[in-house]
Amino acid sequence: MIVRILGEGQLEVADDQLDKLNELDGAVEAAVETGDEAAFEAALAALLDGVRRSGSPLPEDSLDDSDLILPPADATIDEVRELLEDDGLIPG
């Protein structure tokens, strides 16, 4: 799966990492729902770090379509609220 972190680039993440990333995504979603800014910032940082750790960066000139697009590290809680779908930022 190819994941884009806005402002950073794309990473190829193995499908077997999806469950762990979904756990991290759940924490982001819960923080957004409660409006807890501190928890949101920590959860988003953990999610993005998880993607960075489990993924392999693609070349900057890669033309591959992204399967998932995640907000940048400095995204606000309101910006992420707009991006959330029923399954969170990472479906599944």
Q: Write down the domain spans for the chain.
A: 2-83
Q: Whole-prediction pTM value?
A: 0.90
Which residues are 3's β-sheet partners? Answer: 11, 68
Residue pair 1/66 in contact by the 8 Å Cβ criterion: no
Give the containing element (helix H, strand E) for 53: helix 37-54
Instruction: Outline where DSSP puts E strands in the chain.
Output: 2-5, 9-13, 55-57, 68-70
Q: Distance between CA atoms of 86 and 92, rounded to whole angstroms? A: 10
Per-residue pLDDT of the chain (92 residues; tens, 9 = 90+): 999 999 999 999 999 999 999 999 999 999 999 999 999 999 999 999 999 999 999 998 888 899 999 999 999 999 999 888 656 677 66
